[in-house]
Structure 1
Amino acid sequence: MRINADFTKRVAVHFDETPWVASPAPGVERKMLDRIGEEVARATTIVRFAPGSAFARHVHDGGEEFLVLDGVFQDEHGDFPKGSYIRNPPTTSHTPAAAEGAVILVKLHQFDPADRTEVKTRITGGAAQQQLFQDRIETVTLQTWAPGQAVSLEVPGGAEVFVMDGSYIESREEFSRWDWLRMPPGSCLEATAGINGAKVWMKTGHLAQLTG
């Protein structure tokens, strides 16, 4: 399976225009943003857990990072409410579940094989920019843009921009809650926040290794 697999191209996925697709686990559905592979895949996905649903225990050979968008995501390591940002590096394992339901943004099989850095943090939302993670390859931040704010950002290593709240315009295209934009290496993000501003999760730098 290949979905938005050409990382040299700009890709936009709008949450309200994308269908839910059933997963192998009962009660778990997905909206696929990009994907290379079948059930074990390099993938970026919005996943919705119905109350009481769960996945079987599994090992993350290629690592996993996720952002909790709604509800409470759970595993044997704890409960992770809305706003939690977690990185589970290669060789880690868990049994994901959601007793009362949850929605997460998850990225699979996208870690450096030697990465062993675990992250468990929360979005605070007070500052204009909150750094969630950084290494020699990528930077992950939460950015808060004021109403009408113009944002200009060179992204030599590419970028992903996911709207947590509010909206913005880029290339005459509006992005609102849970919409996703991927920009290839060498791009420049030229965005204008909407009338209520925008809160976005952003990852930069990580796409250069896929297009070089």
Structure 2
Amino acid sequence: MNFSQSLALHYDANHWQPSPAAGVWRYPLEREQAESGHVTSLVRFAPNSHFPEHLHPLGEEFWVLEGIFSDENGDYPAGSYVRHPPGSRHRSFTDGGCTIFVKLNQFSPDDGKWLKMLPEQELWITGHKGYRRLPLHQHNGVHTSVLHFPQGGLFPACCYKGGLELLVLEGSVIEGSETYEHLSWLRFAAGSEPNLQLAPDTKLWVRTGHLANLT
């Protein structure tokens, strides 16, 4: 929770922790308090499991990594991105099992937009630098997207200002002597200038600009 420090976490399958709900496991990355406050984590649902209805005081967003995640508003297959605004609540469940990347209580109070983007609604943009971008959301200088680097290469330095957060969806990220593969998570403080090399066919969930005013 010290946002002035950069950190990088290799994925370790031994770090999953049980949640209060049977069949639901969590892999904490950022956690302000045990069951409330600012949270970033992976969440894994066993088949036919559910999490009871709960409130999102400052919003919830998630990216479905595998399987089909569901709530009262519908089903979300792998590759879906959903935002529930501050003050919303839902009961989540799955029939066949799923894994999601979720961020809780991190919205601006004035960001009240509901958003549901399913895989068939994706609109990829190909940039002149050879990578593809799937815009997910932007608000007050904070940008969320998925980036795909078919040929690999260097991560664009323009994304460092204001902080940078990455989840490795496919491929790998190399920083110095370390290689971060599938489900590794990296966060770089505002003002940092990491040198990130990307393997061919690397795909990343990316957020920029959100750490400038956090300490």
Q: Same fold by TM-score, threshold 0.5 exceeded?
A: yes
Name the amino acid aligned to 2:105. Answer: H
Provide the C-alpha distance between the structure 1 equivalents of 2:182 and 2:152, rounded to a whole number of angstroms: 16
The residue aligned with 1:158 is 163
- Listed as ranges, the gaps of 5+ residues in structure 2 are 127-131
Q: Quick one: percent identity of the two aligned structures?
A: 39
Contact 1:21–1:29 under 8 Å retained in 2: yes
The residue aligned with 2:140 is 136
> Aligned match of 1:31 in 11, 27, 33?
27
- 1:1-212 paired onto structure 2 within 5 Å: 5-16=1-12, 19-123=15-119, 124=122, 127=126, 128-154=132-158, 155-194=160-199, 196-211=200-215
Measured against aligned partners, the alpha-carbon deviations of 1:43-90 in whole angstroms (never above 9, x if no partner) come to 100000000111111121110010000000000000000000111110
Give 1:190 deviation, angstroms. 2.1
Quote the RMSD (CA, aligned, Å): 1.6
Give 1:92 deviation, angstroms. 1.2
Name the amino acid aligned to 1:205. Answer: G
Q: Which structure 1 residue ranges, 4+ long, deviate > 2 Å from structure 2?
A: 122-127
- Listed as ranges, the gaps of 5+ residues in structure 1 are none
Contact 1:63–1:90 under 8 Å retained in 2: yes
More divergent stretch after superposition (174-183 vs 9-18): 9-18
Provide the C-alpha distance between the structure 1 equivalents of 2:194 and 2:205, rounded to a whole number of angstroms: 14
Provide the C-alpha distance between the structure 2 equivalents of 1:189 and 1:131, rounded to a whole number of angstroms: 23
Contact 1:149–1:197 under 8 Å retained in 2: no
- Looking at secondary structure, tell me which structure has more strand per residue: 1
TM-score, length-scaled by structure 2: 0.90
Contact 2:152–2:202 under 8 Å retained in 1: no
SS of equivalent residue, structure 1 residue 188: coil
The number of residues matched between the two structures is 206
TM-score, length-scaled by structure 1: 0.91
Measured against aligned partners, the alpha-carbon deviations of 1:126-145 in whole angstroms (never above 9, x if no partner) come to 54111111111410011111
